[in-house]
């Protein structure tokens, strides 16, 4: 059976063959623990981690010692939010603290904030407009004397909208509030530079940028006074005491290689992927004039198309096209019933949110894939529409005869 056409690159990307080649020796030959400094295996592994730390730092314009390796963006988010608030709580001697975030954040952010609320921390969740944009003025109005952290994602994982992160960073710096951004959907396709956008904390992951799953990073800005983060995993004091646990050397090496490739090829990749995304949307609009597109159509990542097919059930449509791998929302929320919280936050009715599918081309998508996808989607929607009409007719007839 042929593999489906893969258009779910915002959930996970294929590992680039060059990344895999870089990783393999660290799985089969150079398998030392990077914390074992008494023999060459460990020292060689530690040196490889240092090289990768530099590669990942270069991707965002950081210094290598500002990078903390984690198991992925979710862990990085948890460490940033919970760690910063816990450290602030300890400094305050148990005083009141406040955190601000937005309604369209990834579940890692929202659930971390929910956990803080359960511990007595005050949390403000900002609304967004119909394009998924958070208001900088609204954020400014929400800040309080005890606000310790604001967390606003760089680019949304469901609708692709890019946040005004430079303005948010400037506001937070001016007010003495730490600014954390989940940049998982941005670093692989946008020029993210922590020198141009002075974020304090930045989370991202390898498996969204053609690296391996199980490897992530948290950027912690060096500044005076230093940013204090309380470790959330205790153990051997790895990663300067911020994240204990034996380092995933093969994954980190792969992360570094993926970052190196991204630096060299990101601009060309983003342009080509954006062209394919545009072709997909144009083709679907021509074939299915009633569709609508969600998110900011100008300030958006190039690899996202969130499309609503009015009157359809997205889950039913996706099951009817096994030749296409797409999703109805964030992979992290796929086990949770009900419409996407992001789509509801931008004002979509429950029926329209349930009729929405996310399409995400990537580095290994071809023009032929896009052309085939348009045919598959259009044919499936037409067929499903006919089925829905038949079901409605049968239901009406059964009711009239009852």
Question: Which residues 6+ apart lie within 8 Å of 43 measured at CB?
Answer: 32, 37
CA-CA distance, 98 to 120, in Å (whole number)? 10
Tell me if residue 172 is catalytic: no
Only one residue has tokens 């230093």, namely: 226
Of how many residues is the chain composed?
402
For 158, which DSSP code?
Answer: T
CB distance 34 to 45 below 8 Å: yes
Instruction: Give the phi and the psi of residue 20 in degrees, each rounded to 5.
Output: -60, -45
For 306, which DSSP code?
Answer: E
CA-CA distance, 189 to 208, in Å (whole number)? 10
Give the tokens for residue 234.
């205790």
Active-site entry in 113, 172, 262, 332: 332
Give the tokens for residue 276.
């394919």
Nearest to 135 by CA among 113, 117, 116, 150: 150
Peptide bond into 225 cis (omega under 30): yes
CB distance 109 to 77 below 8 Å: yes
For 206, which DSSP code?
Answer: G
Q: Is 274 exposed, middle or buried (0-12, 13-18, 19+ CB in 10 A)?
A: middle
Q: How far is CA 260 from CA 52, 71, 196, 356, in A?
A: 9, 19, 20, 35
Instruction: Give the phi and the psi of residue 340 in degrees, each rounded to 5.
Output: -60, 135
Q: How far is CA 121 from CA 55, 90, 301, 315, in A?
A: 36, 13, 33, 37
Q: What share of the chain is helix, strand, coil (3-state, %, to 5)?
A: 45, 15, 40
Instruction: Give the phi and the psi of residue 373 in degrees, each rounded to 5.
Output: -60, -40
List, by residue number, the catalytic residues.
332
């Amino acid at each position: 059976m042929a593999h489906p056409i893969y258009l779910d690159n915002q959930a996970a990307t294929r590992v680039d063959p060059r990344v895999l080649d870089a990783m393999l020796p660290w799985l089969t030959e150079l398998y030392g623990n990077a914390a074992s400094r008494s023999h060459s295996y460990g020292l060689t592994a530690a040196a490889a981690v240092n090289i990768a730390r530099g590669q990942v730092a270069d991707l965002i314009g950081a210094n290598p010692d500002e990078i903390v390796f984690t198991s992925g963006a979710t862990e990085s988010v948890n460490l940033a939010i919970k760690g910063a608030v816990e450290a602030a709580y300890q400094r305050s001697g148990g005083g009141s603290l406040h955190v601000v975030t937005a309604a369209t954040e990834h579940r890692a952010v929202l659930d971390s904030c929910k956990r803080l609320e359960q511990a007595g921390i005050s949390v403000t969740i900002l609304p967004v407009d119909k394009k998924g944009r958070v208001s900088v003025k609204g954020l400014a109005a929400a800040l309080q004397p005890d606000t310790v952290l604001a967390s606003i994602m760089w680019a949304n994982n469901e609708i692709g909208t890019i946040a005004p992160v430079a303005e948010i960073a400037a506001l937070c710096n001016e007010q003495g509030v730490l600014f954390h951004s989940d940049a998982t959907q941005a670093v692989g396709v946008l020029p993210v530079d922590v020198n141009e956008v002075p974020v304090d904390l930045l989370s991202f992951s390898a498996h969204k940028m053609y690296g391996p799953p199980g490897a992530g990073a948290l950027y912690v800005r060096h500044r005076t006074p230093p940013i204090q983060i309380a470790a959330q995993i205790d153990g051997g004091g790895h990663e300067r005491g911020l994240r204990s646990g034996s380092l995933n050397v093969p994954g980190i090496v792969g992360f570094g290689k993926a970052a190196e490739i991204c630096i060299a090829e990101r601009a060309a990749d983003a342009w080509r992927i954006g062209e394919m995304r545009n072709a997909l949307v144009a083709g679907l609009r021509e074939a299915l004039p009633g569709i609508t597109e969600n998110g900011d159509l100008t300030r958006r990542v190039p690899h996202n198309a969130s499309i609503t097919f009015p009157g359809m059930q997205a889950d039913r449509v996706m099951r009817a096209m096994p030749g296409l791998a797409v999703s109805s929302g964030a992979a992290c929320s796929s086990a949770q019933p009900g419409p996407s919280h992001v789509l509801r936050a931008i004002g979509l009715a429950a029926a329209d949110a349930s009729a929405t599918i996310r399409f995400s081309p990537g580095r290994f998508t071809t023009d032929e894939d896009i052309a085939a996808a348009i045919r598959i989607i259009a044919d499936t929607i037409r067929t499903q529409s006919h089925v829905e009409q038949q079901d409605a007719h049968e239901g009406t007839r059964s009711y009239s005869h009852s």
